[in-house]
């Protein structure tokens, strides 16, 4: 029998890179009766969240909010801007980029995936070269993942924009920042992104269930002649309803209460401070990993994710690596902490620490202590002192 109410004392540490821990303030904000989604009270809420979310995406353009997971918002971005059989260019940063390509295949788009090693971000020079070779402008969109949650690598979106511009190519730029929004610096307008895709359950600190499309004027124009079938996902009706603060169907009212609170929290702290906090925790986590004598999966220090750190398990001396999932099981069963599993190609030999959202120095140190204790308990070879290295870094940079 599933025992949902068994209660080990103390809080569960949910250190997967999404869903992230939902802060009490957001839980309280959602704990209200659901209201009439066509009434005046809802209208005020709708107008507020639609305005606030733009500041989080750093855009003056519309942001559509779906009752959906991030995957739904991926699909929405494509069906609204592209037509059957369109060629698109994607980049294999990791598992999520690969899943997005599979989704494009199912929509019968002709997706070309530039291969990657899952340890680096997008190489903008390769995008530029491929677009320059496309003199007929057959490629309709470039689709990249900003924060690749499977590898802990963050790509430089401004460089991708510059690559498209240098190639003089008219392709749209579609960017997934499902795990980056609200924790890693992101600028929809400044970076000239046409559709930015995100979700609620990562940096925004909400439960799963909201998907987002931030839309440029160029993407909106493309949507008027895109022919992929769209009904539920179609921007046109939603944007028309949103004008008045409403949705054409029943929105996820209680998640919108939460979204309103989440935006307030991020803006009260200030986005720059939020991003600096995440950068600092990322650095402390990497110092712990190196202190243990283990390896960070990301190989380019300019591309370290502030959201999560993926760690390579050490050699087992038998030609393989220690089992990351057996290690995670030890940590869960003994210390009540969930760590992210290795996904896709890195499954079984990589684990991930989420250090995003509602997170502070002690949450990080608690997570790292649980990992160090787990390494001992699971018999995974490592050096002592990882937690100590993180403590020293955090103490030395406290108050910054
Ligand atoms: C979580 C995630 C997704 C998938 O989002 P769902 O809400 O699980 O559908 C896609 N891309 C990235 C980068 C993610 O982190």
pLDDT at 8: 78
Residue 5 has pLDDT above 70, yes or no: no
pLDDT at 6: 65
User: Which segments of the chain belong to CATH 3.90.1150.10?
Assistant: 13-17+271-397
Counting atoms of ligand 1 from 1, which one is nearest the CA of 18? 1
Of the candidates 301, 296, 334, 300, the one whose C-alpha atom is nearest the C-alpha of residue 313 is: 296
Counting atoms of ligand 1 from 1, which one is nearest the CA of 148? 13
Local structure of 296: helix, strand or coil = strand
- Cα separations (Å) of 162 from 60, 190, 306, 321, 358? 21, 12, 23, 40, 33
Q: Which residue has the higher pLDDT, 3 or 97?
A: 97
**What is the CB < 6 Å shell around ligand 1?**
18, 69-71, 96, 145, 149, 176, 178-179, 199, 208
The pLDDT mean for the chain works out to 97
Q: How far apart are CA 128 and CA 303, in angstroms?
A: 19
The CATH classification number of 24-268 equals 3.40.640.10
Residue 78 has pLDDT above 80, yes or no: yes
Q: How far apart are CA 148 and CA 310, in angstroms?
A: 10
User: Which segments of the chain belong to CATH 3.40.640.10?
Assistant: 24-268
Counting atoms of ligand 1 from 1, which one is nearest the CA of 17? 15
User: What pLDDT digit, counting tens, does each position of 52-66 carry?
Assistant: 999 999 999 999 999
Task: Give me the residue label for tokens 């309280």.
Answer: 28
Cα–ligand 1 centroid distance for 203 (angstroms): 12
**Helix (H) and strand (E) counts in the chain:** 13, 14
The CATH classification number of 13-17+271-397 equals 3.90.1150.10
Contacts 24+ apart (CB under 8 A), 318-323: 320/349, 321/348, 321/349, 322/349, 322/378, 322/380, 322/381, 323/348, 323/349
Q: Whose CA is nearest to atom 6 of ligand 1?
A: 70
The beta strand positions in 127-279, using DSSP E, are 139-145, 147-148, 153-154, 172-176, 195-199, 211-215
Cα–ligand 1 centroid distance for 178 (angstroms): 6
Residue 267 has pLDDT above 70, yes or no: yes
pLDDT at 146: 98
Out of 19, 66, 71, 200, mutate this one to test ligand 1's pocket (max ligand atoms within 8 Å of CB): namely 71
Counting atoms of ligand 1 from 1, which one is nearest the CA of 179? 15
Residue 1 has pLDDT above 60, yes or no: no
User: What pLDDT digit, counting tens, does each position of 133-168 carry?
Assistant: 999 999 999 999 999 999 999 999 999 999 999 999
**Mean per-residue pLDDT for 333-339?**
97
The answer to whether the predicted template modeling score (pTM) of the entire model surpasses 0.85 is yes
């Amino acid at each position: 029998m599933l025992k949902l109410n068994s209660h080990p004392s103390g809080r569960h540490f949910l250190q997967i890179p999404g869903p992230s821990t939902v802060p009490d303030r957001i839980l309280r904000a959602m704990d209200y009766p659901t209201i009439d989604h066509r009434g005046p009270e809802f209208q005020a809420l709708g107008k507020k969240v639609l305005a606030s979310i733009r500041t989080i995406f750093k855009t003056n353009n519309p942001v559509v909010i779906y009752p959906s997971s991030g995957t739904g918002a991926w699909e929405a971005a494509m069906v609204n801007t592209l037509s059957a059989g369109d060629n698109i260019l994607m980049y294999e940063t990791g598992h999520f980029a690969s899943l997005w390509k599979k989704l494009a295949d199912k929509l019968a788009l002709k997706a070309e995936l530039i291969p990657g090693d899952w340890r680096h971000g997008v190489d903008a020079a390769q995008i530029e070269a491929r677009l320059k070779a496309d003199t007929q402008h057959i490629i309709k969109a470039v689709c990249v993942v900003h924060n690749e949650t499977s590898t802990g690598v963050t790509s430089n979106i401004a460089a991708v924009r510059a690559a498209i511009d240098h190639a003089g190519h008219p392709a749209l730029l579609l960017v997934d920042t499902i795990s980056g929004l609200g924790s890693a610096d992101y600028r929809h307008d400044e970076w000239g992104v046409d559709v930015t895709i995100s979700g609620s359950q990562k940096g925004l600190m909400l439960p799963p269930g909201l998907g987002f499309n931030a839309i440029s004027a160029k993407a909106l124009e493309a949507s008027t002649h895109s022919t992929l079938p769209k009904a539920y996902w179609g921007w046109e009706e939603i944007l028309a309803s949103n004008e008045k603060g409403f949705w054409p169907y029943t929105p996820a009212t209680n998640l919108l209460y939460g979204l309103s609170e989440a935006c307030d929290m991020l803006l009260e702290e200030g986005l720059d401070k939020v991003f600096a906090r995440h950068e600092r925790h990322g650095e402390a986590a990497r110092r712990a990993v190196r202190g243990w004598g283990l390896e960070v999966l990301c190989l380019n220090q300019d591309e370290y994710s502030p959201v999560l750190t993926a760690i390579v398990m050490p050699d087992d001396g038998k030609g393989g690596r220690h089992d990351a999932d057996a290690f995670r099981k030890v940590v869960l069963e003994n210390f009540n902490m969930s760590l992210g599993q290795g996904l896709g190609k890195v499954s079984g030999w990589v684990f991930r620490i989420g250090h995003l959202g509602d997170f502070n120095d002690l949450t990080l140190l608690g997570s790292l202590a649980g990992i160090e204790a787990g390494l001992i308990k699971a018999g995974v070879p490592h050096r002592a002192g990882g937690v100590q290295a993180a403590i020293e870094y955090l103490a030395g940079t406290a108050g910054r």
